[in-house]
Amino acid sequence: MTARLRESLHTAAADVPAYPVYKRALATARRSRRRTALGAAAGLALVVAAGALLPLTGGSPVAPAAGAESALPDRLGLPPFGSLHADDWPHLGPASVIFTGQARGLEHGEEGTVIAVVGTDDRYRIIKSGGVNEHAGEDTVLSPDGRQVAFMPGGFWDPKVKIIDLVTGAGRTVTGGVPNTVMAEPAGWSPDGRALVVRDTVVVDSQGSAYRDVLTLVRLDDGRRVTLMDGSEERSIPVAFAPDGARVAIQTGRTVTVTGLDGRQVASFALEPETELAGKGAWSPDGRTLTVTRRDGDRWSLRRLDPGTGRDLGALDLPAVTGVTAIRLLGWATDGSARVVAYRPAPGARAFDVPLAMDERLAYGNVGTVEVLALHSGTEQPATLLTAPRDVAAIDVADSVVRSGQTRTADPPLGVGPRFWFWTVLGTLLVGGVAAYRNRSALALWRFQRRARRGRA
């Protein structure tokens, strides 16, 4: 190469603008970081939207058939891991059944209870309560129309009751307004669902060695309270409203007391041995008689009493139930049949053909599972309407479902629920985002080198 040519090439090269390698690399890295951040934000937004819109795994993707809102499922499953809560969106709507027990998924923490709520289309929701071994139908109750669930949010030393509206997802707390209360429990709904009976456990002495029950009728619309019973040192269960809602029958120990909604006592009488007020459905459909359960060995039958005097009016023409720890009457169907909960004994539980207090008969350790039976007049055997998994020990059914007398083929959900998928995807994105941020320089260099290779190609 001659000196003249060399000089010409140097002159031409001097006129060519230099490529800003460092500045371009820095700009590329900044663009990559911005795109990564925007992608992560978009991913999180999608996850949140999916968690809100994702239907419950195994639930019906179509609207329930006509009449399904008042039909009893023929079997129960267990709530899947990661089930939505009762107040989560999309809202469940009226429930047909709630249940509790010691089966998988029905306990949380060391002593908390999980209340399973079953919708009309087999969507399952859960409510986490702080109460210990809460019993559906006893201290956790479903409103007559299935729209509201009342339960103990904190258990002992928490003197309030929480109510969740399954249609709106709204929650509220109510109290009996009783001083020195150490625990408040819901005991029963009025037939119109506008009032709730709250059972307060009140300290009697300064040492806390004795307690008494106070039952208060709380009207939910205006908060008015009426004391139905005060002073008993024995637990007041069950509480049964007359169909017209004008009277309440309450069993305390071996005594049944009938009161008006103003708190005035209408009648009081003692029960015979091995006889119990039948349950929340103890009143006959016309409100003229009360129903009690009578145990004879391992046979449980229903009998009628005069609500004014307690006089025995004879046995009902219904089949007896055998092989159970106890039965509770849910109510009466439109065809005249009685719908009862049968508590089947747990394997190895103590013998139940001997006198035993009802709270012992229904204790979780003594109940293996529950069934809902139909007792039809003139038949010899009960008809099984609903079965439940092992260790489902308590159940409550909406009054509207009991009255309809309808059952449906159930399809309980399987697998895992939406909350599992939501947190799994969110956790994956968060871990990936953190890893990308910590290695942002290496990622930027890799992207720059990749573009450089493409440019050379």
* pLDDT, tens digit, 9 for 90 and up, residues 198-231: 999 998 877 767 889 999 999 999 999 999 999 7
C-alpha triplet 19, 24, 25: angle, nearest 5°: 120
pLDDT for the residue numbered 14: 60
Cβ-proximal residues to 34 (8 Å cutoff; 6+ apart), any chain? none
> Are the CB atoms for 138 and 236 separated by under 8 Å?
no
pLDDT of 456 above 60:
yes
Asked whether the beta carbons of 378 and 122 are under 8 A apart, the reply is no
Report the predicted TM-score, pTM, of the whole model to 2 decimal places. Answer: 0.81
End-to-end CA distance of the chain: 30
Nearest-angstrom CA–CA distance, 150 and 93: 15
In this predicted structure, the answer to whether residue 51 has a pLDDT above a threshold of 90 is no
Q: Which fold has domain 81-417?
A: Neuraminidase (2.120.10)
Structural tokens at position 18 = 């230099």
Instruction: State residue 43's pLDDT score.
Output: 53
pLDDT digits (tens, 9 = 90+) for 104-155: 999 988 778 999 999 988 999 999 998 888 999 999 999 999 999 999 998 7
Q: What is the pLDDT of residues 154-206, one digit of tens each?
A: 877 788 999 999 999 999 999 999 998 999 999 999 999 999 999 999 988 77
Tokens of 154: 């904190």
- pLDDT tens sequence across 321-374: 999 999 999 999 999 999 999 999 998 887 777 788 898 999 998 999 999 999
Spatial separation of the C-alpha atoms in residues 232 and 247, rounded to whole Å: 19
Of the CA atoms within 13 Å of residue 263, those in its CB half-sphere come to: 12
Is there a contact between 340 and 372 (Cβ–Cβ < 8 Å)? yes
Q: Does the pLDDT at position 61 exceed 50? A: no
- In this prediction, residue 457 carries a pLDDT of 67
Which of 32-36, 58-62, 207-211 has maximum average pLDDT?
A: 207-211
Residue 317 has pLDDT above 90, yes or no: yes
Q: For residues 390 and 127, what is the distance between their CA atoms, to the nearest angstrom?
A: 20
Could you tell me the pLDDT band of residue 416, with boundaries at 50, 70 and 90?
A: confident
- For residue 194, the model assigns a pLDDT of 97
pLDDT at 65 over 70: no
Is the per-residue pLDDT at 90 higher than 70?
yes
Distance CA 296, CA 298 (A): 6
Closest of 167, 145, 126 to residue 70, by C-alpha: 145
> What pLDDT is attached to residue 383?
98
Residue pLDDT, tens place only, 373-400: 999 999 999 999 999 999 999 999 999 9
**3-state secondary structure at position 420:** helix
Which helix (H) or strand (E) is 241 found in, with range? strand 236-241
Least confident of 242-251, 267-276, 428-437: 428-437
Question: What is the chain's Cα-based Rg?
Answer: 32
Averaged pLDDT, 244-255:
95
pLDDT digits (tens, 9 = 90+) for 3-28: 666 676 666 656 555 555 555 655 55
Give pLDDT tens digits for 257-309.
Answer: 999 999 999 999 999 999 999 999 999 999 999 999 999 988 999 999 999 99
| Element containing residue 50 per DSSP (H, E) | helix 21-53
